[in-house]
Structure 1
Amino acid sequence: MTTSVTETHRAAAPKILVLGATGPTGRHIVSQAVNRGYDVTALVRSPEKADLKGAKLVVGDARDEKALRQAIKGRDAVITALGTPASPFREVTLLSTATRALANAMKAEQVSRLIAITGMGAGNSAGHGGFLFDKLIFPLLLRKVYADKNRQEDVIKRSDLDWTIVRPSILNNKPGGNAIRTLTDLNSFHGGSISRVDVATFILDQVTSDAWFGGSPLITS
């Protein structure tokens, strides 16, 4: 693996690539990163609809390894906030397919730091969303989405990258600035929520920190 961001870029503003930058959480990530003085690139499919002030836009599909390599070149870290709509009936493959292409592109461009958002319900956080989420929302609307999130996490964990997987609890659009709890022992946790603003803050804090290298914390307010 290459040298981490924390070792070589403590003084310089990090250069980051954001995938899923036009999504509701991705927009907060880009905005906060720009406000921190980061050098931000976003891979987007429709630049005319992006409206990401302060970010350099690279046009392409997140499943296209060639486009990913172009966007990753010269970056210090990659943040993926890719999401996909609820899919009660159709199989979902976007997240795992894009992440597989991303891992290959990062290896080719010698960029090692990856921070990925999946969600509560992935991996060992399944069954900890509370009654409504676990018994109704998850099985009826999100089962196929989370099957792909699990495949996505497997791709990341098998990669030779300095990865952090972040699993937010139920997302809301409330103001940020709340205390963020990071949990790995979920035995007493059942449900919770967190603002997208606070998720963005936590994600960006990981760019220059190795505290959660190889970790998959659930974060909640």
Structure 2
Amino acid sequence: MQDSVTDDIRTVQPKILVLGATGATGRLIVSQAAARGYDVTVLVRSAEKASDLKGVKLVVGDARDERILRQALKGRDAVVSALGTPASPFREVTLLSSATRALVSAMKIEQVSRLVCITGIGAGDSAGHGGFLFDNVIFPLLLRKVYADKNRQETIVRDSGLDWILVRPSVLNDKPSRDTIRALTDLSSFHGGTISRAHVASFVLDQVRDDTWVHRSPLITW
């Protein structure tokens, strides 16, 4: 059954659910998916914030609500999670892990196996590879609690039993995409780097149909 679903994703335009669709990267994922002819459903907290997302099916609700997630997953082939959360120097962050835990449960019930999840440089074994400013100023002062939750999120994904890919972009910018992108798992000689949100969106959408990085955590950068 799972093999036939995977074959369908490869041979026809996939039906995807996008979480975090109103964020800066999420919007590009949605627009690029629509341009590719994908059938796109988005789950958003506010219909007003998503009013400019064209050509998508809109489901309004909380990404931590398993009932809403199951509704949004009906008929989908894959999920792209671009969930994010603001910097939080003082308060604990739980949104990413709690939403991902609910998502994994809902995906299993609805028999959707492919999950492409964006986390970021600084998660897991990519910690300490963001460059001097990121590693020594931005991360400890602003993002430590966010990344503690990203680490919990990654653990949930790894333990899910799904066909998962964890995508860790380097520092994001809004520059135009370049012709080439590097996807790395050996970070021994990598310190710092940037990548455009548009390129992240393109790479993430490629993973909906490509098995190259299944059960792996590539860091993507220029």
SS at match of 2:10: coil
SS at match of 2:49: helix
Q: Which residue of 2 aligns with 1:104?
A: 105
Q: Which residue of 1 aligns with 2:159?
A: 158
Any idea what the Cα deviations from partners look like across 1:151-195, whole Å, max 9, x if unmatched?
Answer: 000000010100000000000001113311000000100000000
Any idea what the Cα deviations from partners look like across 1:87-111, whole Å, max 9, x if unmatched?
Answer: 0000000000000000000000000
- Whether contact under 8 Å (1:192, 1:220) holds in the other structure is yes
TM-score (structure 1 length as normaliser): 0.98
Q: Which residue of 2 aligns with 1:178?
A: 179
Q: Which residue of 2 aligns with 1:23?
A: 23
**Any stretches of 5+ residues in structure 1 without a counterpart?**
none
- Within 5 Å, which residues of 2 pair with 1:38-187? 38-50=38-50, 51-187=52-188
Identity rate, percent: 74
**Any stretches of 5+ residues in structure 2 without a counterpart?**
none
Which whole-Å CA distance do the structure 2 matches of 1:199 and 1:17 have between them?
17
Q: Which residue of 2 aligns with 1:191?
A: 192
Shift of the 26–4 alpha-carbon distance from structure 1 to 2, 3 Å rule, reads: farther
Moved over 2 A (4+): 1-6, 8-11
Which whole-Å CA distance do the structure 1 matches of 2:71 and 2:112 have between them?
12
Q: Which residue of 2 aligns with 1:7?
A: 7
Which whole-Å CA distance do the structure 1 matches of 2:48 and 2:121 have between them?
32
TM-score (structure 2 length as normaliser): 0.97
Which whole-Å CA distance do the structure 2 matches of 1:101 and 1:46 have between them?
19
CA RMSD of aligned residues (A): 1.1
Query: Structure 1 counterpart of 2:44, which letter?
Result: V
- Whether contact under 8 Å (1:6, 1:209) holds in the other structure is no
SS at match of 1:100: helix
